[in-house]
Amino acid sequence: MRSDFIPSALALNRFGVGARPGDLARVGRDPQGFFLTEIRSEQPQTNQILPETPTILADLREESRRVDLARARNAATGDEPRPEGIVLSRLIDKAEASGKPMPAPAQPRNDIPQAMYQADIMARVNAALTTDGGFVERLVWFWSNHFAVGVSKGNQVQSTAGAFEREAIRPFVLGRFSDMLHAVETHPTMIYYLDNNQSIGPSTETARRQKKGLNENLAREILELHTLGVSGGYTQSDVTSLARVITGWTVAGPEGRLGRPGSTVFNVGLHEPGEQQVLGRYYPDFGPDQARDVFVALASEPATARHLATKLARHFVADHPPDALVRRLESTFRDTGGDLAAVAAALLQADESWAPEASKIRSPQEFVMGSLRLLGSVPENGGVVNNLLNALGQKMWDPPGPNGYPDSRDHWESPEGLKTRLDVAVRLSQRASDRDPMALLDGGLGDYASRETRQAVARAESRQQGVALLLMSPEFQRR
């Protein structure tokens, strides 16, 4: 099936972030060529204003110290913490004048995790709203969910989840998978999320002194989720050996003895010395290069190519993707040494990718971002978006486990899920109560909109209701 038979609106939903007014005309009758041009000419958007991970972690540590001191001082003196600053002082004066006391002030707290989380959500939103087509942006979302981290883990992960995506995912989505793999597994956020900072080589002096040993969390997920897949042929012995290989990869402390505080470092004192065997191959102990050598080998495993090809085809095309499509992506991955731009191009060039049936439902993130994009609505802050995503079950960077959010129609299309989507569509429509819903329909769906959808939107009792019906239409919800 050639791509010129596929409506541009469907193509933009399937491979992009969705249509803005004017996008359908720009894509025209060649969405395949449009997206191929995007991956050949565009690099993932990055936000150069937001700080790097070491800076965030250093600020987090310093602010935590300040909060602890303030709490200790309050406990020692028996004083209630008192708000400071001109604005708060005026509020106190006003409350006293009215005879109504101010509510008891909260204990000192560290606001950096939530502030950085909100800022990074807005950076993700702005990238979605301003990208031309959004295929590269969608690749970022895919790989970020493949290498999932969860902000509920704690302050370190919440503060740096966005930086993790900026630093370890975005620069590599059109590069080599082995480079992305190394960047991800040695990033401070992943180290904290899967506890590699707590893993110590069992035969090291540090392990004997601290009475600690291996933590296999990161090693297991590298094999089961990030590379080979659960059926990839590895054993528990491989997990343990890989856990030994990646001991020593940790985060520099505040004293900065091993490197810039908050940055990834290789601490030889924590590293299990000696040769290790993973998947039947022996790896000499070349310090930090031992892990890099294993990552390169894992990236070249046939099971890895098959696992990643299946996930990509499932995400973009169908819950049960055509075998021919999976084989094409798998062979491209292997033949190019894991060139992700070549794999993305192969996905776009495969006839199976352009089936006219919209068999998948947009995930909550795709739905919300696509809605904001169509409405031209920039949210006030990241909390506005995250509240909607949380209600829909896909809070930003916070899946229930390291396997990321599910990618199947059945998961997102439950009766309760669809009811919540309707509630969210109503809330989103409130942001566009002055917009003409028929004009939005023409700009976002064009000829792809069915007669039933056009009639429903046209007969709506109000503009707001018309927008909500548009956002809940099958053509907008499915891809």
The DSSP H or E segment spanning 91 is: helix 86-98
Which residue is it, tokens 């990646």? Answer: 246
| 66-70, 77-81, 357-361: segment of lowest average pLDDT | 77-81
Residue 397, domain member (yes or no): yes
pLDDT per position as a tens digit, 180-195:
999 999 999 999 999 9
Whether 1 shows a pLDDT value over 60: the answer reads: no
Residue 70, domain member (yes or no): no
Contact criterion met (CB below 8 Å) for 67 and 110? yes
Full-model pTM: 0.91
Whether 82 shows a pLDDT value over 50: the answer reads: no
Residue 164, domain member (yes or no): no
Residue 406, domain member (yes or no): yes
Backbone angles phi, psi at 404, to 5 degrees: 80, -175
Q: How much of the chain exceeds pLDDT 70, in percent?
A: 91
Q: Find the mean pLDDT for residues 73-84.
A: 60
CB contact set of 336 (below 8 Å; sequence gap of 6+): 342, 343
How many contiguous H segments (helices) and E segments (strands) does the chain have? 25, 4
pLDDT per position as a tens digit, 468-477:
999 999 999 9
Residue 180, domain member (yes or no): no
If one counts the domains in the chain, the total is 1
Mean pLDDT of the chain: 92
Three-class secondary structure assignment of 369-419: HHHHHHHCCCCCCHHHHHHHHHHHCCCCCCCCCCCCCCCCHHHHCCHHHHH
Residue 367, domain member (yes or no): yes
Q: Find the mean pLDDT for residues 30-57.
A: 87
Q: Which residue has better confidence, 71 or 460?
A: 460
**140 CB-contact burial (10 Å; exposed 0-12 / middle 13-18 / buried 19+):** buried
Q: Residue 439 is part of which domain span?
A: 3-28+359-477
Whether 151 shows a pLDDT value over 80: the answer reads: yes
Contact criterion met (CB below 8 Å) for 123 and 47? yes
Residue 283, domain member (yes or no): no
Residue 166, domain member (yes or no): no
pLDDT per position as a tens digit, 387-416:
999 999 999 999 999 999 999 999 999 999
Contact criterion met (CB below 8 Å) for 175 and 137? no
Structure tokens at 145: 């969910």
Instruction: Give the pLDDT score at 70.
Output: 78
Backbone angles phi, psi at 129, to 5 degrees: -75, -25
Whether 86 shows a pLDDT value over 50: the answer reads: no
Q: Find the mean pLDDT for residues 195-202.
A: 98
